[in-house]
Structure 1
Amino acid sequence: MNIRYLLLCMVLLTGCSQNDWRSASRASSGLAPDPATTPEAVLQVYGASAYGWRGWFAIHTWIAAKPANAERYTVYEVIGWRERRGLPVLRIEAVDSPDRYWFGAKPELLLDRRGAGVQELILAVDQAARDYPWKNEYRVFPGPNSNTFPAWVAQQVPDLELELPFRAIGSGWAD
């Protein structure tokens, strides 16, 4: 047996398992400011390596918003498995920690807006999210997927000035 083939198999098998992601997926990564001590409006976009082998080349992205003086964040994201359960793939939900690990992968901050003018951006993002045309459709490739959603929101809200990285596969689907 070819040693390169054997090594590739080992990498594939270990790469599809991200250890115990269940315990880490509930933990905050520390990127989102605490609403209790942050009265200003906050709008953030996160990206984290996709689950399993897809994480080698793709990320999952989501948007988090906290209006001025709000006690919680609202997270906006598209999650494919929701479709199989008969749910809309677009999830809009109030949460305490919008910066949780994604299946064990620590998110990175792709956009961080705070303070003056952010309240208006949050309202525009919320409206764009609610108008998202593919809230019941999901395809890993080429889209619409979790990266199509924030890219589409960015098209509707150009003042957001969101530029997704190359690894946000599916972000160009709605162009």
Structure 2
Amino acid sequence: MKTMLRLLTMLALVFVLPTLVSAGLWAAKDRPARWNEADWGSAGILPKAEETPQAAIYVFSAMTGGMKGSVASHAWIVTKQKNGQYQRYDKVGWGAPIRRNHRPPDGYWYSNPPRLVTSVKGPQAERLIPKMEAAISSYPHGEPGGYRIYPGPNSNTFVAHVLRSVPELGAVLPPDAVGRDYLPNGAFYALDSDGRDLHLSLGGLAGLSLGARSGLEVNLLGLVAGLDFQQPALKLPGFGAIGWPD
């Protein structure tokens, strides 16, 4: 009985309390009431494509709209071939799920600014873009109807699939990317293509990730808590990765 009580207390402290605090802070902010009142324009993060001839890859994430924005974000991929234009890839919940260039490459999402998850430029980006395009094409839930907002497959499921398929990008989505832990086809486990990160999942509702990029993560009902060893930080629901002080 005492062991069960300790477990429930720990779960409340690690998952429930940060979520409630984040929701309270989010509710106090001014936000657009409807999607058509939100800012979806460029945040001015990326230079104009013609000003940077080198190839580039970017992965962005931004908090989403409504109260779910207190704990959940939306991720997307941007690529640019050498001397080419930006190509943005998102998964959305209507029509053909995988969309290309339906928003500016560095656009706000529900008025929330994009955060850079990772970037690669120059010759390495040139090598990785074909591999990323192959991962985008092979995504198993890219057909109409292949979207479910919770627990997945959703927009973050799509980007997480690409990151696992192209581990040279050296990144995982932030802890608030709800849906990233839903594995393609509802699989129980997935191993990144370089074998350095292992993911276990019960339909995206509970799971564990362990590895060089993931650190140690526990997923419960789409919320993630854990430790980042690569860039030392504590991961908490609603707050993302909180780095250790120097």
The interval holding the TM-score normalised by the smaller chain is 0.7 to 0.9
- Cα distance, 1:162 vs. partner? 2.2
- With CA pairs under 8 Å and 6+ residues apart, which has the higher RCO, 1 or 2? 1
The letter of the residue matching 1:162 is A
Determine if contact 1:89/1:135 at 8 Å carries over to the other structure: yes
The letter of the residue matching 2:161 is W
Determine if contact 1:20/1:104 at 8 Å carries over to the other structure: no
**Residue matched to 1:78:** 91
Q: Does 1:88 align with 2:91?
A: no
The letter of the residue matching 2:33 is S
Q: Does 1:145 align with 2:160?
A: no
Structure 2: which 5+ runs fail to align? 1-23, 184-189, 191-246
| Alpha-carbon distance between aligned partners in 2 of 1:21 and 1:43, rounded to the nearest angstrom | 30
| Alpha-carbon distance between aligned partners in 2 of 1:102 and 1:12, rounded to the nearest angstrom | 19
> SS at the partner of 1:69?
coil
Q: Does 1:158 align with 2:167?
A: yes
- TM-score when normalising by structure 1: 0.81
Selected match of 1:63 from 69, 77, 83: 77
For these two proteins, the number of residue pairs brought into alignment is: 157
RMSD over equivalenced CA pairs, Å: 2.3
Q: Does 1:53 align with 2:67?
A: yes
- Cα distance, 1:140 vs. partner? 1.3
**Residue matched to 1:32:** 46
The letter of the residue matching 1:44 is Y
Structure 1: which 5+ runs fail to align? 1-7
**Residue matched to 1:17:** 33
| Higher-strand-fraction structure | 2
The letter of the residue matching 2:128 is L
The letter of the residue matching 1:147 is N
- TM-score when normalising by structure 2: 0.59
- Cα distance, 1:13 vs. partner? 10
**Alignment map for 1:118-133 (pairs within 5 Å):** 118-133=125-140
**Residue matched to 2:120:** 113
Which structure has the bigger radius of gyration?
A: 2
> SS at the partner of 1:117?
helix
| Alpha-carbon distance between aligned partners in 2 of 1:126 and 1:34, rounded to the nearest angstrom | 22
| Alpha-carbon distance between aligned partners in 2 of 1:18 and 1:91, rounded to the nearest angstrom | 22
Deviation string 1:24-63 (CA, Å, 9 cap, x unpaired) is 212x112222111100111001101112111110000000
Determine if contact 2:55/2:83 at 8 Å carries over to the other structure: yes
Q: Residues 115 and 155 (structure 1 numbering): CA distance in 2 closer, same or farther, change over 3 Å? A: same
Determine if contact 1:76/1:92 at 8 Å carries over to the other structure: yes
- Cα distance, 1:93 vs. partner? 3.4
> SS at the partner of 2:100?
strand
Q: Residues 14 and 31 (structure 1 numbering): CA distance in 2 closer, same or farther, change over 3 Å? A: closer
The letter of the residue matching 1:113 is V
- Cα distance, 1:90 vs. partner? 1.1
Determine if contact 2:75/2:159 at 8 Å carries over to the other structure: yes
| Alpha-carbon distance between aligned partners in 1 of 2:61 and 2:34, rounded to the nearest angstrom | 17
- Cα distance, 1:20 vs. partner? 6.7
Q: Residues 13 and 112 (structure 1 numbering): CA distance in 2 closer, same or farther, change over 3 Å? A: closer
State, as a whole percentage, how many aligned pairs show the same letter.
32
| Alpha-carbon distance between aligned partners in 1 of 2:34 and 2:102, rounded to the nearest angstrom | 27
